[in-house]
Amino acid sequence: MNTIKNQIRPILAMTVAIAISTLVSCKKDEHVPPDINFKTTAGYTAADAIEAVNTPVLFGVDVVKTEDELKTFDVSVSLDGAAANSIQSETISGSEEDGFSRDVAVTTRAVTGTEKYTFTVTDRDGNITQESITLTVQ
């Protein structure tokens, strides 16, 4: 009986060592944030641009989940490098949790300067994606 115990102990020790090594070597899952893509078809502004004062501008975004359901969408603007202010904010629900499209219409200010529009989407796990377009108003 001692012989069996002596044989089991090394096997048990090896099994525990393998289990611990497997647990320690596992990488933490890397979360992939959602995708934001600007619409590039006619009529949309999809990149930094120069615009005249008081000019209507149309942004279009397509947002797609990568891993987790989409939860919030926000558009903010920073004027001349100042702190950004939200101009559109919403909670995403239902079928749009897998992806959605939005058109965001703005009009440039009546003064020259820069207007940086930032589009932010957050998924269920808190992963955030931001994309920005800067308009130079002349």
Residue 81 has pLDDT above 70, yes or no: yes
Confidence (pLDDT) at 31:
81
Strand order in the sheet with 113-123: 49-51, 128-137, 113-123, 70-79, 85-91
Identify the pLDDT of residue 13: 58
pLDDT band for 16, please (50, 70, 90 cuts): low
pLDDT at 8: 64
What is the dihedral angle through the alpha carbons of 132, 138, 42, 78, rounded to the nearest 10 degrees?
20
Q: What domains are there in the chain, each with its CATH number? A: 35-137 (2.60.40.2550)
Query: Do 34 and 127 touch, CB atoms closer than 8 A?
Result: yes
Would you say residue 109 has pLDDT above 70? yes
What is the C-alpha separation between 52 and 49, in angstroms, rounded? 10
**Residues 85, 116: contact at Cβ < 8 Å?**
no
Contact 32, 123 (CB under 8 A): no
Cβ-based burial of 113 (10 A; exposed 0-12, middle 13-18, buried ≥19): middle
Sequence-distant contacts of 40-47: CB under 8 A, at least 24 apart: 45/133, 45/135, 46/133, 47/133
Strand partners, 121: 73, 129
Express each pLDDT in 67-79 by its tens digit: 999 999 999 999 9
Q: What is the mean pLDDT of residues 51-78?
A: 97
pLDDT at 138 over 80: yes
Tell me the pLDDT of the chain averaged across its residues: 88
